[in-house]
């Protein structure tokens, strides 16, 4: 069985088509043109707006012309993550999918079901002439994963609809009505590299790999190991004790993904190799003990001899960087006091690049309270400023405040109960959703978010629960049939 044999076939066929088009964040031109062509071929008005988003307008089916306009909204880009062993090029290669029991996965890469399943559902609606619905708008935004740029740049007169169905949530049977805001904390510095005297020195490549990683909002509360934090502990135990000297350091590659891998090149004085290796082994043992119940595949920490680098990081700079990364807040800061099961404020120490006289450390702070988000970011700024780094706050957005009296959510709950015999769960999530950015542009718009069940988005373990897709799509179709009449 392949993806094209799965049901509902129209949704899976559309999703398969998306997997064949490279669409990592920052490279969405090809998929945007594909979506516009798809819309036009299926009778929709379709165009790319000034922000690079795709907009489709679909006429009502006969008898439904008097309904309010509903909007189906998703994002076209995907997070490009792969295993260390993979040679996949996200800018040129299609995603290779495979079926694992009741789950659809990708071979050694992210699957792109976040938010390819939302896009596929919208495409299936546009294509399916048997559905009953009022006038529709489809908004497929660009570059959601790297900064929600399409939503930020969406013009306030683009959409005409009253009800927005965001198709970017990740548990079937849940309806999301609020989310956290976010802010990127970007720390940079330049330094003068120092020469290395290779006499009496041995170079080692310290590598951490095989971690679960995960979505830095939805899975930040699961206690997963952060490769950058682990590496800081290894370097603190070796570099800061004189067993090694740091030459370069790299870890993570996406601001909204918990880093899975990292590496650092160090030089070790001859005669201290055994003590250095013993310390690395001790760190490995400690990490496996601490995270063994969570990181089921095991934490792989190695120190392998490598070519001698020409330059190294100055003593004071290496000490300050290691100390700052070790000290910086990472993970859950606190939960919502009135909803203690939901994370309120967190940070993800996402990316580290230190080499060739330049250092950059990127963190993503999230909170459903703007004041707590600022408090967290100011704390991170203080930490890295003391290390001599320039700290900037970029790409900030507020959270999506829940409307507990939303007529749309009430109607969705009734429809779901009639279809499946139980009420959906209504919740607020710690991830960032585009509703928080689109909403202020359209203050009269009523919004809710839902989707099929996905696990481990933003990692090569991302997978989609196949039975949930049919329920999700049937729910979308029934909702569109039940959009209220215009008053």
Stated length of the chain: 487
- Asked if residues 457 and 104 have their Cβ atoms less than 8 Å apart, the reply is no
* Closest-CA residue to 167 (of 395, 424, 454): 454
Is 144 catalytic? The answer is: yes
Kindly report the backbone phi and psi dihedral angles of residue 82, in degrees, each rounded to the nearest multiple of 5, phi listed first: -145, 165
Half-sphere exposure (Cβ direction) of 295: Cα atoms closer than 13 Å: 25
Confidence check: pLDDT of 382 > 90: yes
What band does 279 get if pLDDT is binned at 50, 70 and 90? very high
Output the pLDDT for position 297: 86
Higher pLDDT, 383 or 297: 383
pTM to 2 decimal places: 0.88
Which residue in the list 114, 144, 170, 446 is annotated as catalytic? Answer: 144
CATH class of 3-180+399-481: alpha beta
Which residue in the list 77, 168, 184, 193 is annotated as catalytic? Answer: 77
Output the pLDDT for position 27: 98
81-96 pLDDT, tens digit each: 999 889 999 999 999 9
End-to-end CA distance of the chain: 48
Pairing type for strands 103-106 and 454-455 reads unpaired
130-167 pLDDT, tens digit each: 999 999 999 999 999 998 999 999 999 999 999 999 99
Domain boundaries, the chain: 3-180+399-481, 183-397
Confidence check: pLDDT of 487 > 90: no
The predicted model gives 338-354 an average pLDDT of 95
* CATH architecture for the domain at 183-397: 2-Layer Sandwich (3.30)
Can you tell me the distance from the alpha carbon of 244 to that of 171, in angstroms, rounded to the nearest whole number?
46
* Closest-CA residue to 384 (of 350, 360, 348, 355): 360
Is 77 catalytic? The answer is: yes
CB atoms within 10 A of CB 420: 14
């Amino acid at each position: 069985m392949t993806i094209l044999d799965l049901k509902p076939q129209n949704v899976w066929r559309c999703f398969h088509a998306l997997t064949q088009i490279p669409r990592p964040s920052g490279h969405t031109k090809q998929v945007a043109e594909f979506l516009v062509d798809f819309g036009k071929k299926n009778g929709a008005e379709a165009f790319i707006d000034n922000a690079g988003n795709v907009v489709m307008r679909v006429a009502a089916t006969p008898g439904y012309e008097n309904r309010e306009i509903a909007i189906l909204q998703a994002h076209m880009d995907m997070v490009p993550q792969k295993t260390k062993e993979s040679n996949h090029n996200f800018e040129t290669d299609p995603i290779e999918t495979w079926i694992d029991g009741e789950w659809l996965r990708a071979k050694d890469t992210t699957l792109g079901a976040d938010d390819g399943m939302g896009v596929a559902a919208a495409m299936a609606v546009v294509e399916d002439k048997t559905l009953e619905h009022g006038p529709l708008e489809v908004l497929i935004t660009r570059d959601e994963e790297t900064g929600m740029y399409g939503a930020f740049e969406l013009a306030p007169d683009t959409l005409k609809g009253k009800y927005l169905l965001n198709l970017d949530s990740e548990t079937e049977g849940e309806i999301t009505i609020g989310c956290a805001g976010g802010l990127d904390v970007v720390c940079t510095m330049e330094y003068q590299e120092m020469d290395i005297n290779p006499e009496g020195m041995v170079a080692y490549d310290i590598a951490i790999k095989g971690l679960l990683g995960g979505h830095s909002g939805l899975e930040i509360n699961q206690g997963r190991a952060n490769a950058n934090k682990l590496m800081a502990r290894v370097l603190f135990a070796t570099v800061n004790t004189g067993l090694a000297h740091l030459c370069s350091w790299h870890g993570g590659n996406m601001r909204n993904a918990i880093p899975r891998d990292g590496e650092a090149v160090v030089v070790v004085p001859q005669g201290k190799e055994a003590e250095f290796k013993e310390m690395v082994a001790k760190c490995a043992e400690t990490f496996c003990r601490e995270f063994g119940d969570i990181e089921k595949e095991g934490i792989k920490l190695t120190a392998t001899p490598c070519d001698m680098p020409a330059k190294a990081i100055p003593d004071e700079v290496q000490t300050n960087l290691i100390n700052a990364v070790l000290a910086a807040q990472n993970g859950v800061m606190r939960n919502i006091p009135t909803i203690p099961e939901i994370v309120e404020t967190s940070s993800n120490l996402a990316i580290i690049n230190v080499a060739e006289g330049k250092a950059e450390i990127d963190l993503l702070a999230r909170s459903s309270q703007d004041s707590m988000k600022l408090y967290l970011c100011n704390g991170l700024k203080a930490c890295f400023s003391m290390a001599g780094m320039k700290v900037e706050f970029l790409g900030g957005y507020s959270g999506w405040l829940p409307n507990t009296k939303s007529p749309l959510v009430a109607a969705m709950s009734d429809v779901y109960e009639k279809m499946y015999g139980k009420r959906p769960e209504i919740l607020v999530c710690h991830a960032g959703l585009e509703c928080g950015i689109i909403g202020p542009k359209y203050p009269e718009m009523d919004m809710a978010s839902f989707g099929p069940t996905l696990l481990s988005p933003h990692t090569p373990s991302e997978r989609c629960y196949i039975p949930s897709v049919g329920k999700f799509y049937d729910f979308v179709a029934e909702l569109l049939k039940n959009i209220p009449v215009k008053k």
